[in-house]
């Protein structure tokens, strides 16, 4: 079966520091990856995505890096703010699949 996992279940950072959240995936056929943010009591919210023909993609304060060689995905958040405190999930799918597979999530806490 699919396996999408995260290295660190919890992460605490000081406000203003950069955060890095990691994700490992096992299916080498996966070609589309998404990071989601989930705040307490809400549904997952799209942050950024990347396809396998890229190794880096940047958004507003966020960067996703994809290393297909070691099947690793990371989310970098610059100048972390208290509003970034949430659980972050990575998700993957193959180019022929109709399903996304989700990791268990990393809980990010920003210390003011």
Query: Tokens standing for 12?
Result: 């605490």
Nearest to 93 by CA among 57, 59, 49: 49
- DSSP class of residue 82 equals G
Residues belonging to the chain: 112
Residue with smaller CB distance to another protein, 9 or 16: 9
- The number of residues that bind another protein (CB under 8 A) is 24
User: What is the x/- site pattern for another protein, positions 13-32, by CB under 8 A?
Assistant: -------------------x
Query: Rounded to an integer, what is the distance from CA 97 to the centroid of its chain?
Result: 20
79 three-state secondary structure: coil
User: What is the x/- site pattern for another protein, positions 29-48, by CB under 8 A?
Assistant: ---x-x-x----xxxxxx--
Residue with smaller CB distance to another protein, 46 or 79: 46
Contact footprint for another protein (CB under 8 A): 4, 32, 34, 36, 41-46, 49, 89, 91, 93, 95-100, 102-105
């Amino acid at each position: 079966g699919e396996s999408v996992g995260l290295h660190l279940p919890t992460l605490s950072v000081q406000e203003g520091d950069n955060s890095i959240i990691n994700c490992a995936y096992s299916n080498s056929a996966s070609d589309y990856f998404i990071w989601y943010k989930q705040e307490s009591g809400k549904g997952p919210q799209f942050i950024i995505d990347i396809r396998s023909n890229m190794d880096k993609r940047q958004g507003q304060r966020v960067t996703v890096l994809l290393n297909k060689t070691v099947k690793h995905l990371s989310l970098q958040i610059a100048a972390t703010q208290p509003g970034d405190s949430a659980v972050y999930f990575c998700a993957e799918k193959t180019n022929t699949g109709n399903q996304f597979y989700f990791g268990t999530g990393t809980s990010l806490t920003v210390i003011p």
